[in-house]
Amino acid sequence: MTDQLNSERVIARDDGFHPLVDEPEVTLAPDTPLADLAAYLDRALISIDFPSFTDGRGFSLARRLRELGFKGRLRASGRLIADQYAMARRVGFDEVEVAPDIAARQPAEQWIARADWKAFDHRAHLAG
């Protein structure tokens, strides 16, 4: 099943890859002003775009949405890589939409290896 999924858009969750079955109600650009986020709190599924794996502005948007009380599903989409999965989960994302070319290079096992994202919080280790 993994090979079939690698040719399509897939969703990475803590237990591996899943087929993409639903589209977000809204996709936020990484330069969405923080002041505009309150308008989206009633949505069931919001996606935040990551145009490149070096653009981390979407992490700040996710954190702020959760701080404002967003209770729906939050999806990162675009160019995130497996190494960023733990950070995505820590700031409030529920899942990551993995581009087909990235899924082909980084199979589900690489994402699952980072699924124990709570155990690798370096800030908690420093504070303790």
Which CATH number goes with the domain that contains 92? 3.40.50
Look at residue 100 and tell me if it is in a domain: yes
User: pLDDT at position 5, please?
Assistant: 46
Please list the ranges in the chain whose pLDDT falls under 50: 1-6
Residue 75's beta-bridge partner residues? 47, 95
Q: By the 8 A CB rule, do 57 and 86 touch? A: no
Domain, as residue range, for 88 = 2-29+39-118
Q: By the 8 A CB rule, do 75 and 58 touch? A: no
User: pLDDT at position 4, please?
Assistant: 43
Look at residue 63 and tell me if it is in a domain: yes
DSSP characters for 66-84? HHTT--SEEEEEES--GGG
User: pLDDT at position 1, please?
Assistant: 41
**Residues near 2 by beta carbon (within 8 Å), at least 6 away in sequence:** 17, 107, 108
Count the domains in the chain: 1
C-alpha separations of 50 from 58, 116, 121, 123 in Å: 6, 22, 22, 24
Residue 19's beta-bridge partner residues? 10
Residue 48's beta-bridge partner residues? 28, 76
pTM: 0.86
Look at residue 127 and tell me if it is in a domain: no
Look at residue 34 and tell me if it is in a domain: no
User: pLDDT at position 8, please?
Assistant: 80
Look at residue 124 and tell me if it is in a domain: no
